[in-house]
Amino acid sequence: ILDVRPEAEFKEAHPPGAINIQIYRLIKEWTAWDIARRAAFAFFGIFAGTEENPEFIPSVKSKLDKDAKIIVACSAGGTMKPTQNLPEGQQSRSLIAAYLLVLNGYTNVFHLEGGLYSWFKEDLPSVAED
């Protein structure tokens, strides 16, 4: 299982054997653009703004073969199934990550429907890290 949640969430609980590679990370730089982005996040009450993790694909490439079976998971899971309220489904970190993996030549990619919320709700095995 490839867990794409932030490292702190991964350390709290994750499926045994899962690896963590964040698809997003906290904004790191302090350029004028990054300061403006931080301010925009703060305007909406989000004081830990995030950006795409540029190391996501390189990190995956260093840990997983292109033909490895990869089950991508995040907290909520998202869905591609349309509903009345969400005619295009519900976007999620894991769906975005799965899409990026396929674009980068990974051929055996799956998505954990219901996300890790469902995993933990079903009382499936989980571990924590210090």
Report, as residue numbers or ranges, the catalytic residues: 74
Task: Give yes or no for a contact between 45 and 84, defined as CB atoms under 8 angstroms apart.
Answer: no
Q: Which two tokens stand for residue 12?
A: 């709290």
Task: Give yes or no for a contact between 114 and 80, defined as CB atoms under 8 angstroms apart.
Answer: no
The SS3 call for residue 20 is strand
Say how far apart CA 88 and CA 15 lie, in whole Å.
Answer: 29
DSSP classification of residue 90: B
The SS3 call for residue 56 is helix
